[in-house]
Amino acid sequence: MPQIVVLPHPTLCPQGSVFEAPKGMSVCDALLENDIEIEHACEKSCACTTCHVIVREGFDSLGEPAEKEEDLLDMAWGLEANSRLSCQALVDDQDLVIELPKYTINHAREEH
C-alpha cells in the first residue's frame, strides 16, 4: 500500500504523521481515518476549498483534476501549482508527501 507522509501542521498534526492508504481512497478520507481532522465543509462533494492540500511528492500519481476542481482551487488560500482538493485526489501507486495549508477559506470557522 502507498504511504502518506503528512508534514507537521501547528493545529491539525503538530508532529506530522506517516500512514498507509489503499489505492483508490481519497486523500481526505485517508487523513480523516488517521485522526487528522482536515476540514471538509461541503462533505467531500467538490463544492468548497476547505480540504485543500499541497502535494509535495507524488503529485503526478494522483491523476488529472477535473475542471470543477481546478475552478475551485483558484479560490483556495495559499494555492500552489501542486495543490489539490483532498476529497478529489485519489491515492494511486506512489507514496505521497502532503502539506496542510496554514489557513482555509471557511467563513463558518475562521481561526488565525
State the average pLDDT for the chain: 92
- What is the Cα Rg of the chain in Å? 13
Please give the share of the chain, as a percent, with pLDDT higher than 70.
93
End-to-end alpha-carbon separation of the chain, Å? 36
* Dist. CA 28–CA 87, nearest whole Å: 5
Is the pLDDT at 110 greater than 90? The verdict is no
Please give the share of the chain, as a percent, with pLDDT higher than 90.
88
* Dist. CA 85–CA 49, nearest whole Å: 7
How many residues can be counted in the chain? 112
**pTM score of the predicted model:** 0.91
23 to each of 2, 46, 53, 59, how far by Cα in Å?
Answer: 7, 20, 18, 14
Which domains, ranges and CATH numbers included, belong to the chain?
Answer: 3-99 (3.10.20.30)
Q: What is the pLDDT of residue 106?
A: 61
